[in-house]
Structure 1
């Protein structure tokens, strides 16, 4: 479409509708490639009169109702950090929080981004995070699961280890559904001390 014709149509639409209707950016942009065929509904006729001409244009469906992938990732990462601190409890958090944020949290973020990347846009809204970390000596921090099916996708754990002749340490790792949660993917280790750490959630 010639530039002057496009600009004239933009002005004409704006004047006739008193600015209420704004031409679609995708439709009017000269650099935007748009499809020239309309999808036929199941009830549409196959006659030539009902078929779109080669000059008819289908305006792309708006994606405004879809949540951007970055927002979903940020939300999951934010909730993941909250669940981790909730699991630690004040007694453990005051000792390891700084190192956890510097060393472990970036690895958790990478694993979450990896998980999100496996799902198409319309499925992202179904990704959710559990809100009850395991207490006592349980390894569970949180799971990311498919809210519609209830299926776990990735499990984030922390294990209390005590190697020979060494003090206690916290081993952070995750498991994925790809191998039925068998493989152990280590994200890092934080040293505690030679003293036995308190149970998770301890105030």
Structure 2
């Protein structure tokens, strides 16, 4: 059972993640989530490659889960990262995943309401949707992938500054970026 009111700190004394500033946590979270997003996108692109449907690397998905979503998560980590250090890493990851889904939902709710205000009323005889109609589909379709991406990416970010993590994280990030960039170039030729 996850103890959300624990007395002792979750990370051991001397763990590098506890010594980082908000901004260090933010850029490391951005890199961790970019890594997980690129690996997930490459995996799903390989799964859908043989069925003759739309190539995922030609869609908006690679840019969403490798840059824009990690950017929102980095801003979230800058705000809640220091508070999360008192929990165990697994609990940190789960809490961060849930918080991130809420933050992204709120961001898109504000964008949806703003868009409906700016666009004005519908012309007679046209079919218009309500301001928050797309929110259900955002949560239904992308809610669980956002939660998984944020949880795993934040866990990787917490693990990456350790001695073993540095030996694995940086070469893996460089390799995935090279493969991801090559697949984007090949898909868009």
Q: Compare the two structures and name the one with the higher strand fraction.
A: 1
TM-score normalised to structure 1 length: 0.29
Report 1 or 2 for greater relative contact order, CA contacts < 8 Å, sequence distance ≥ 6: 2
Find the structure with the greater CA-based Rg. Answer: 1
Q: Which has the higher helix share?
A: 2
